[in-house]
Structure 1
Amino acid sequence: MAFVRHSSSLKLLLLFSAFLSLSPRNSLLEAAPQVPCYFVFGDSLSDNGNNNNLIALAKANYLPYGIDFPEGPTGRFTNGPNIIDYIAQLLGFDRYIQNFTAALANQDFTRGVNYASGAAGIRDETGIQQGDRISLNNQLLRHSSIVAKIRAIQGTQAADSLLNKCIYTVGMGNNDYINNYFMPAFYSTSRLYTPQQYAVVLANQYSNQLKDLHDLGARKVAILGPGLIGCAPQEVSTFGATNGSTCNEQLNSEVALFNNQLRPLVQSLNNQFPDSNFTLIDIFSISSSTSLAQLNLTAPCCETNPTTGTCKPNGAVCPDRKAYGFFDGYHPTSILCQGLASRSYMRVLPTDADPYDIRQLAMQ
């Protein structure tokens, strides 16, 4: 999934230097976590191994994925830590949040669980051509089972008090375009809905799912908006670039219609649930205002499968991962993940996060 608009003119090199100066595993982790737990819902940008045991094309548990990760290939769709890993570090956690299977096996779910699944979407049918995946509805069902376990262990009152203090990030919608609306050969959505109608239908379903998350005790929820899908090397290869850009701006304009639904969605949820704080991390806006001139943003770092855009198993990989923005045809390199996480945690522009960045959300 794409993040950075290649033709942007704003320079954020000082920000880039600032987040590179932060130690990923040491200086951030000396203090206690800012919240007691962190629960993650999302797609391949957040997946840390939930798809490993599924019959699915959307997997990343093989080299060169994880080539720069201490544990090697784990199911993360990048070369090292992903965006969620960096957010967890910035929140002060001394260990990465475990995926659902590992959390169950280790009985380590009171500090949070990562439910994210590659190819998953807001809509249940999204990604079906990729095989098995865990849709947002099914991620919520898994979370419901974890909530029940925590309540059984701690009692309802103590468990709910804990859950109310946690951070929740929900990053969905990318695949509802990449692996749904933009694939008319597999899906009927682009024939049933105009781009504007689809954005509204998608946002309405998303709103209901976020209300379900609230019912399960979530009170501090950051919604990670979609990225610039039309700038992903795989999408540019498939659909072509437009109007002299290195991106496909038609795809970006259609995704923008959904992204534009998210601010009023957040406002509505905050009005409906005054006991809660929902916020939008506007990845689309962050990406549009980011220019990292030293990164190659037009080619993937790894040798990719021309059909799926994922890395070929044991295929060639660029020697300097810090010089590339995309690891495969869709997913950012770890260095770019770190920058996006940094700006999600502490906004640089008011448009980055509304009404709070993740740091502020943790303090609510």
Structure 2
Amino acid sequence: MGCESKTWLILSLVTVMVASIMQHSTVLGESQVPCIFVFGDSLSDSGNNNNLPTSAKANFLPYGIDFPATFPTGRYSNGRNPIDKIAQLLGFQEFIPPFANLNGSDILKGVNYASGSAGIRKESGSQLGHNVNLGLQLLHHRAIVSRIAHKLGGLDKAKQYLSQCLYYVNIGTNDFEQNYFLPNVFNTSRMYTPKQYAKVLIHQLSHYLQTLHHFGARKSVLVGLDRLGCIPKLRVNGSCVEDKNDAVFLFNDQLKSLVDQFNKKILTDSKFIFINSTSIIHDKSVGFAVTHHGCCPTNEKGKCIRDGIPCKNRNEYVFWDGIHTTESANLVTAITSYNSSNPAIAYPTNIKHLVQSNTIN
């Protein structure tokens, strides 16, 4: 397949997305869920790290070069991230605002708590500076739930409202890339085998998800981790590092099992789905021409060099920098997560069916 054909294939997915938005949001302002709450790391961060004392931030060019704004927002891509696009597919007319900069935003439509370098474990990514780990993100959500309860006239009414919302959880990358894979900084790889570490992470994540359930969450998307051994930053001589991929696969397998446990035994009044991101953007049929290195010039940490000149053919790249994906790849991820019927990608169903499902309050 030539480069022109590959670019056409990727761009044709844009048409699919626009058609889906028009089909599911025929009335201006109508959305399939009343609100979206986002928990995660730099893959979903929309500006929560901008004012933190950390090197893990993306509020400078060339980040955001294709974003529909006059300045970089703090997203770790050239444009929108996957949850931005998923929100569009669900009919939202505006982006879900970051917790750090609500500025009078309508919190009844949701909040993005994701923080670059954050992990499930509180120490993950801490060597880069401050971040908002998942535990702190839940504390922020608790404060938002209190504000929503005040608006709606009580906690019971708030929980009833929140039970119809979508909860998007995409975290765990930094527990490996900025923790377990750094034996000179953290001791986790000496304390645990990869299988044990995955179990520890899933156990802690399970506790956090049950806390979310206590505050009304009934429809949750749990996103699996990418093949970290294949991201440009961690490749060795251009090749994937398979032992790092194997560690991620152990985590993903246990995350999928957690979805089954929640749906069938633990939180049966709720719906959980697992999105296997490794099977989406690495599918060769999608048509990306460049998969081994990023589009922007990067430093030793895999971040874009400030004011560096990125590639022009960004639609042909999977990766934007040494870690994060391009807007084109994010578009593919969002569309596939939203409507895929392949159980190897969206299990046991997709986001579209999840938000249409009924739950027991």
Is TM (by shorter chain) over 0.5?
A: yes
User: Shift of residue 18 of structure 1?
Assistant: 4.7
**Counterpart of 1:221 in 2: which secondary structure?**
strand
TM-score by length of 2: 0.91
Map 1:61-80; keep pairs closer than 5 Å. Answer: 61-71=59-69, 72-80=71-79
What is the aligned partner in structure 2 of residue 53 from structure 1? Answer: 51
Map 1:1-364; keep pairs closer than 5 Å. Answer: 16=10, 18-21=12-15, 22-23=17-18, 27=22, 29-31=25-27, 32-71=30-69, 72-103=71-102, 105-155=103-153, 156-236=155-235, 239-240=236-237, 246-270=239-263, 271-287=265-281, 289-306=283-300, 308-364=301-357
2:8, 2:315 → 1: CA distance?
16
> Using a 3 Å threshold, how does the CA distance of structure 1 residues 289 and 324 change in structure 2: closer, same or farther?
closer
User: Shift of residue 285 of structure 1?
Assistant: 3.3
> Using a 3 Å threshold, how does the CA distance of structure 1 residues 62 and 70 change in structure 2: closer, same or farther?
same
2:123, 2:166 → 1: CA distance?
28
Moved more, 285-294 or 131-140: 285-294
> Using a 3 Å threshold, how does the CA distance of structure 1 residues 25 and 75 change in structure 2: closer, same or farther?
farther
In the alignment, residue 101 of structure 1 is paired with which amino acid? A
> Using a 3 Å threshold, how does the CA distance of structure 1 residues 331 and 277 change in structure 2: closer, same or farther?
same
TM-score by length of 1: 0.90
Instruction: Judge conservation of contact 2:230–2:241 (CA < 8 Å) in 1.
Output: yes
Instruction: Judge conservation of contact 1:24–1:86 (CA < 8 Å) in 2.
Output: no
User: Shift of residue 13 of structure 1?
Assistant: 9.3
In the alignment, residue 13 of structure 2 is paired with which amino acid? F
Unaligned runs of 5+ in 1: 1-11
Moved more, 170-179 or 151-160: 151-160
User: How many corresponding residue pairs?
Assistant: 346
Moved more, 328-337 or 350-359: 350-359
1:288, 1:348 → 2: CA distance?
17
User: Shift of residue 102 of structure 1?
Assistant: 2.5
1:90, 1:82 → 2: CA distance?
13
In the alignment, residue 325 of structure 1 is paired with which amino acid? V
2:289, 2:171 → 1: CA distance?
26
**Counterpart of 2:212 in 1: which secondary structure?**
helix
1:68, 1:204 → 2: CA distance?
38
2:329, 2:197 → 1: CA distance?
30
**Counterpart of 1:299 in 2: which secondary structure?**
coil
**Counterpart of 1:329 in 2: which secondary structure?**
coil
2:283, 2:218 → 1: CA distance?
30
1:248, 1:291 → 2: CA distance?
23
- Give the structure, 1 or 2, with the largest relative contact order (CA under 8 Å, sep 6 or more): 1
**Counterpart of 2:42 in 1: which secondary structure?**
coil
User: Shift of residue 160 of structure 1?
Assistant: 1.3
**Counterpart of 2:318 in 1: which secondary structure?**
strand
User: Shift of residue 250 of structure 1?
Assistant: 1.6
**Counterpart of 1:41 in 2: which secondary structure?**
strand
> Using a 3 Å threshold, how does the CA distance of structure 1 residues 193 and 240 change in structure 2: closer, same or farther?
farther
How many percent of aligned residue pairs carry the same amino acid?
44
> What's the CA shift string for 1:286-326, capped at 9, x where partnerless?
345454444311111111112x1010110121112112111
**Counterpart of 2:272 in 1: which secondary structure?**
strand
> What's the CA shift string for 1:106-153, capped at 9, x where partnerless?
142110000000000000100011101100000000000000000011
> What's the CA shift string for 1:216-249, capped at 9, x where partnerless?
110000001111111110111xx455xxxx3221
> Using a 3 Å threshold, how does the CA distance of structure 1 residues 274 and 26 change in structure 2: closer, same or farther?
closer
User: Shift of residue 353 of structure 1?
Assistant: 1.2
User: Shift of residue 26 of structure 1?
Assistant: 7.1
1:294, 1:283 → 2: CA distance?
15
1:58, 1:360 → 2: CA distance?
35
**Counterpart of 1:46 in 2: which secondary structure?**
coil
Instruction: Judge conservation of contact 2:219–2:271 (CA < 8 Å) in 1.
Output: yes
Moved more, 149-158 or 16-25: 16-25
Unaligned runs of 5+ in 2: 1-5
In the alignment, residue 258 of structure 2 is paired with which amino acid? L
User: Shift of residue 16 of structure 1?
Assistant: 4.2
> What's the CA shift string for 1:262-296, capped at 9, x where partnerless?
12111111221121101111113334545444431
1:348, 1:274 → 2: CA distance?
23
Instruction: Judge conservation of contact 2:298–2:304 (CA < 8 Å) in 1.
Output: yes
In the alignment, residue 347 of structure 1 is paired with which amino acid? S
User: Shift of residue 14 of structure 1?
Assistant: 9.6
What is the aligned partner in structure 2 of residue 4 from structure 1? Answer: none
> Using a 3 Å threshold, how does the CA distance of structure 1 residues 15 and 315 change in structure 2: closer, same or farther?
closer
> Using a 3 Å threshold, how does the CA distance of structure 1 residues 300 and 107 change in structure 2: closer, same or farther?
closer
